[in-house]
Every structure is written in C-alpha cells, then in structure tokens.
C-alpha cells in the first residue's frame, strides 16, 4: 500500500463550504498520488471553530463546545471524501463529548462507509490544566482491508505500554499537535520507538499553525514521517519517509505488509517476540554503592 501522512496547516474558514473544499482538495491530492491511506494530525478539526466567528475561536469553552457539537458533521465530510476518492482516511482529531467529559477523538474512515473512533488515553498538562480535556474510551485495533491499524494520539505514543497493547497492529498511526520543536521530537522519538519495539510501521502526522486567533492551536509545528524497524528489508535509519520541518503537504511511503511479517518472523533481532524476556530481569535490579 501507499501511505500519505500530513503536515497540515490550520486555516481560517468563514463557512462550511470553505472547510469542505479544503478537506476534499487534500484527500483528492493524496488519492491522485496513489495513496491508499491518508493521515491527518491531532486537533486538525479545531480549525472549524472559525466558522462560528472570531470570538468563539478565541475562547476555550466556546471553541471546544462548537467543535464537539459538529463532530459528526466533520466526520461526514471526511466520509464523503473517502468514498469519493476511494481512500481510507484518519480524520484529524478534535474535541468530542463522552458523558459529561470532553475527550480528544479521531475517526478512522474507510471508503465503504466503515468508521471507528479512537480517543486519546493520556492527557498532556495543557489538556489537563488549561483545556480540561479528559481521557476517553479504550484503545482499539481496527481490522481493515489494509491490515490491522492502531492509533496513538500524540502524547500516547510516548508510553511504551500503550504501544505494547497495540502490538498486533501492522500500522500504527500517530496524529500529533506540538507547539515547539521539542514536542515534535518527543512524539517522533516515541513513534520510532514503538516501531522498533513492535516491529511495525508507525506514521506520524503534524499540525502546523501560526494564527493567534485560535485558542489552543495558535502555535504548532512539525513534519510528516513514516518510520519502521531498522532491520531486514527496511532502511537502516528506521525512516521510510520524512517531510521538511514546518512545510505543509503530504509525505508518501510505500509499505509492504509482507515485509513487516518477515521482520517479525525472522529479523536480525526479534524485539516483539522477546518482549517478555525483560520482566524477570527488571525484578532483579539491585543498588550497588560504589563510594
């Protein structure tokens, strides 16, 4: 398959037609370049708050509420594009309501009208302390015509046990939103580590923004990247494709599921198979005073 992952810039939209046209153009471009799967970043959905006007877009509670109220409408727009262009789409995440809580949710959408949701598991300090966004529903493995796909939203990718819970996926999607280069590198290191541990392909998408009119997504930087285990049949760098930092657009990589299966079965190392070997060794840690 061919995967397209994005460095996606936030835009100001005065109406729904403007937003719909942007999403269709991006999805069409990925499909025209042969992509079977395209990945949008974390909080890409938040640009729709502009449709409600500048006062709403700049306000924490009002912007989150407007976006959550229109989550289904945004998903329908992505579903229409996925079906029209015959491509599977990871919709950019955004706030959604779960009971009385606000969660960070994305949708994996297939061309044949199939869709599933993944919520972020662990909130950053900004989400906890400023946005008051909460952890959502559990991790899921999506069994698709492209293989088994999992999603770790941004900060989630930095936690190895969450990655291990998705050890059976072939493709791990990591949509991200980071305001500084240091944040980008934290997520990228996490995405590459999860590809190493699980001997899978991980796909990072990044939000781009420099628009103070938006609350919470006024600053964002990063790049799209597709990572792999540095082992038999894959690049020794662990990088299948990488975009330029801060440059908007799609980055493409060809991914062969047979390669993933081969590395898991007969790689130079077998991190995924040998995972449990570490735990008895961890129980034997001692403190040795050296003076």
pLDDT-above-70 percentage for the chain: 100
* pLDDT band, residue 262 (cuts 50/70/90): very high
The predicted structure's pLDDT at residue 114: 83
The predicted-structure confidence for 239-249, as pLDDT tens digits, reads as follows 999 999 999 99
Is 232 within 8 Å of 263 (Cβ atoms)?
A: yes
CA atoms lying within 13 Å on the CB side of residue 152 = 29
Answer CATH for 2-276 from 1.20.144.10, 3.60.110.10, 3.40.50.300, 2.60.40.10: 3.60.110.10
Residue of 114, 119, 193, 110 whose CA lies nearest to 153: 119
Find the mean pLDDT for residues 250-271: 97
DSSP SS3 for 256: coil
The overall average pLDDT reported for the chain is: 97
Per-residue b/e over 15-47, b at no fewer than 16 CB within 10 Å?
A: eeeebbebbbebbebbbeeebbbbbbbbbbbbb
The predicted-structure confidence for 166-224, as pLDDT tens digits, reads as follows 999 999 999 999 999 999 999 999 999 999 999 999 999 999 999 999 999 999 999 99
The predicted-structure confidence for 138-165, as pLDDT tens digits, reads as follows 999 999 999 999 999 999 999 999 999 9
Residue of 8, 94, 26, 36 whose CA lies nearest to 254: 36
The predicted structure's pLDDT at residue 80: 97
Cα(101)–Cα(133) distance, integer angstroms: 7
**In this structure, how many other beta carbons lie within 10 angstroms of the beta carbon of residue 81?**
24
Residue 92 or residue 114, greater confidence: 92
The predicted-structure confidence for 73-112, as pLDDT tens digits, reads as follows 999 999 999 999 999 999 999 999 999 999 999 999 999 9
Q: Could you give the C-alpha distances from 215 to 49, 61, 185, 235, in angstroms and in order?
A: 9, 10, 23, 40
Cα(56)–Cα(53) distance, integer angstroms: 6
With a CB cutoff of 8 Å and minimum separation 6, the contacts of 21 are none
Residue of 3, 11, 31 whose CA lies nearest to 224: 3
């Amino acid at each position: 398959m061919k995967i397209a992952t994005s460095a996606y810039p936030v835009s100001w939209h005065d109406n729904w037609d403007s937003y719909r046209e942007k999403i269709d153009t991006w999805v069409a471009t990925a499909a025209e370049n042969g992509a079977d799967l395209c990945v949008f970043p974390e909080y890409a959905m938040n640009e729709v708050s502009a449709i409600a006007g500048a006062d709403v877009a700049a306000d924490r509670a009002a912007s989150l509420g407007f976006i959550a109220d229109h989550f289904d409408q945004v998903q329908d727009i992505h579903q229409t594009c996925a079906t029209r262009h015959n491509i599977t789409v990871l919709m950019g995440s955004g706030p959604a309501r779960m009971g009385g809580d606000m969660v960070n949710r994305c949708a994996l959408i297939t061309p044949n009208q199939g869709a599933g949701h993944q919520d972020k598991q662990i909130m950053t300090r900004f989400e906890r302390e400023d946005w008051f966004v909460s952890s959502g529903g559990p991790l899921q493995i999506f069994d698709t015509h492209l293989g088994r796909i999992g999603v770790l939203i941004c900060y989630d990718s930095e936690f190895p046990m969450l990655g291990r819970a998705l050890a059976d996926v072939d493709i791990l999607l990591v949509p991200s939103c980071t305001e500084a280069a240091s944040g980008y590198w934290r997520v990228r290191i996490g995405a590459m580590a999860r590809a190493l541990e699980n001997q899978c392909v991980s796909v990072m998408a990044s939000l781009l923004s420099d628009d103070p009119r938006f609350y919470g997504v006024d600053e964002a930087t990063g790049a799209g990247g597709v990572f792999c285990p540095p082992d038999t049949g894959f690049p020794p760098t662990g990088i299948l494709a990488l975009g330029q930092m801060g440059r908007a657009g799609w980055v493409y990589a060809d991914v062969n599921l047979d390669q993933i299966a081969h590395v898991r079965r007969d790689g130079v190392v077998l991190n995924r198979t040998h995972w449990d070997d570490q735990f008895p060794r961890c129980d034997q840690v001692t403190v040795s005073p050296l003076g």
